[in-house]
């Protein structure tokens, strides 16, 4: 029996975390999908809202406490307890941003512009907006709307759709 393959037509990405590494995973995957001609919709919820909130989007940090994948220069494991010291998270975040800049990785707002310019759609979660007392005007101007989870899933409807949760 041969297995019939269907090309991916649509991707719906949900970003629920606000650290640099989580937000950039969403942005890289979303931009990659747009570049491949895949219909792309991204839903930012809970702390992921920081990526599309004007006051926070350029101030993202790396999670230094409880991050088992964190490594020091040379590849040694980063002791999680160091992340609790004042200034460590800020320093690690600055280092990560510097490395990304050296690789010419776009900043958050530039990535969002690239995604929307390519036809991708950006949405915010109504529940998270209400919880954090945010208004539509607090968000990056390219956000198309504030939706409930059900409304977002309706936009993800269809065959050949992949839902990715970051």
Distance CA 112, CA 49 (A): 13
Per-residue pLDDT of 26-57, as tens digits, reads 999 999 999 999 999 999 999 999 999 999 99
CA distances from 50 to 25, 74, 141, 150, 162 (A): 14, 31, 14, 21, 24
Please report the domains of the chain, with CATH numbers, ordered by start residue. 10-62+108-165 (3.40.1260.10)
- C-alpha 26: how far from its chain's center? 4
Q: Under a CB-based contact definition with an 8 Å cutoff, are residues 47 and 130 in contact?
A: no
Listed residue (111, 103, 139, 105) closest to 40, CA to CA: 111
User: What is the pTM for the complete model shown?
Assistant: 0.88
């Amino acid at each position: 029996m041969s297995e019939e393959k269907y090309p991916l037509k649509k991707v719906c990405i949900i970003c629920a975390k606000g650290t640099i590494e989580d937000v950039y995973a969403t942005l890289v995957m979303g931009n990659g999908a747009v570049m491949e001609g895949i219909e792309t919709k991204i839903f930012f919820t809970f702390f992921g809202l920081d990526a599309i909130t004007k006051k926070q989007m350029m101030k993202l940090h790396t999670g230094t406490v409880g991050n088992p994948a964190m490594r020091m220069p040379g590849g040694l494991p980063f002791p999680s307890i160091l992340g609790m010291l004042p200034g460590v998270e800020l320093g690690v975040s600055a280092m990560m941003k510097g490395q990304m800049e050296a690789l010419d990785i776009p900043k958050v707002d530039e990535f969002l512009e690239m995604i929307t310019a390519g036809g991708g759609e950006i949405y915010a979660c109504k529940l998270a907006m209400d919880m954090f007392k945010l208004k539509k005007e607090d968000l990056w101007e390219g956000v198309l709307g504030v939706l409930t989870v059900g409304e977002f899933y309706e936009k993800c409807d269809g065959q050949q759709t992949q839902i990715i949760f970051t």
